Amino acid sequence: MLSSLFQQFLNGITVGSIYSLVALGYTMVYGIIKLINFAHGDIFMVGAFIGLIISIKMGTNFTLVIFIAIVLTSFIGVLVEKIAYKPLRNRNSARISALISAIGVSIFISNLVVLINGPQNESYPQLLPNNILQILIILISIGLMYGLYYIVHNTKVGIAMRAVSFNVNTARLMGINPDMVISFTFAIGSLLAGAAGVLVGTYYRAVDPFMGMMFGLKAFVAAVLGGIGSIPGAMVGGLILGLTEVLGVAFVSSSFRDAIAFGILIIILIVKPTGLFGKKTKEKV
């Protein structure tokens, strides 16, 4: 009984740490340009598919697979930003236009993959040994998150990111190029999503073109739970969401899986709209 409880916790933390990786992308982009990037879930899916292609064409070396996948997804993330969001931002359009654009990109990407490969589940090769799979996934996620934390707090570009998120115009006056910083943010966020995609494929051993939809939404819930815009918030939010989901399925019922995730979203929005780690901001008039 105890060992099975421990196993359930491990299941929850594994899913949770992947949620965290994806949630970080949402939260960083929101922190910088106040945009909910709904295409983020599909970048995650593309990352999983790139990993699949690499492992078929170039062999099942996990390090190589995840490396190529994150490099390519960060390029795709920047490309999406340049094509779908930057023109809108430059024209000072309403924030809702960028949001609609994001939804459009999301639908476009998932259907593009359907067009190329069909809508079915695809088998994923075994990239990591089964017995330590969950531990490895958790360690890799933690490693990536630590890397991000280091970049944001200890490098020049990290300082620039934080400056832009405080105030774009002031940052510009200080000699920071906000476009560069925004592109960098998209690159980093998409990189984490790409890594998460490969990890999910390795964990469940199957991927499909619409996996980004639900997973992305859940990660978004995790980001809101932790306080959107807050990096530690996204990490903690993902873990809490993963754990409650798995324990809910194990001890209540599987039909509550999505109800738990979105129930949390509703409760957070009612009780503490800024999330666990969110800062209260006063609108200045």
Among the residue ranges 156-164, 166-174, 198-206, 276-284, the one whose residues contact another protein (CB under 8 A): 198-206
205 belongs to the binding site for another protein (CB under 8 A):
yes
By CB under 8 A, tell whether 53 contacts another protein.
Answer: no
146: which 2 tokens?
Answer: 């630590």
Residue 204 engages another protein in binding (rule: CB under 8 A): yes
Nearer to another protein, 28 or 52 (CB): 52
Comparing CB distances to another protein, the nearer of 80 and 246 is 246
Quick one: residue 34, left, alpha or beta (phi over 0 = left, psi -120 to 50 = alpha)? Answer: left
Q: Can residue 214 be called a binding residue for another protein (CB under 8 A)?
A: yes
Residues 119-158 close enough to bind another protein by CB under 8 A: 120-123, 130, 133
DSSP 175: T
Q: Which of 246, 261, 264, 268 is in the footprint of another protein by CB under 8 A?
A: 246
- 59 CB burial (10 A radius; 0-12, 13-18, 19+): exposed
Q: Please identify, using beta-carbon distances, which residue of 232 and 263 lies nearer to another protein.
A: 263
| Identity of the amino acid at 18 | I
**Total residues found in the chain within this entry:** 285
> Does residue 15 belong to the site contacting another protein (CB under 8 A)?
yes
Interaction of residue 11 with another protein, rule CB under 8 A: yes
Contact 75, 102 (CB under 8 A): no
List interacting residues with another protein (CB under 8 A): 1, 4, 7-8, 11-12, 14-15, 120-123, 130, 133, 200, 204-206, 211, 214-215, 245-247, 249-250, 253-255, 257
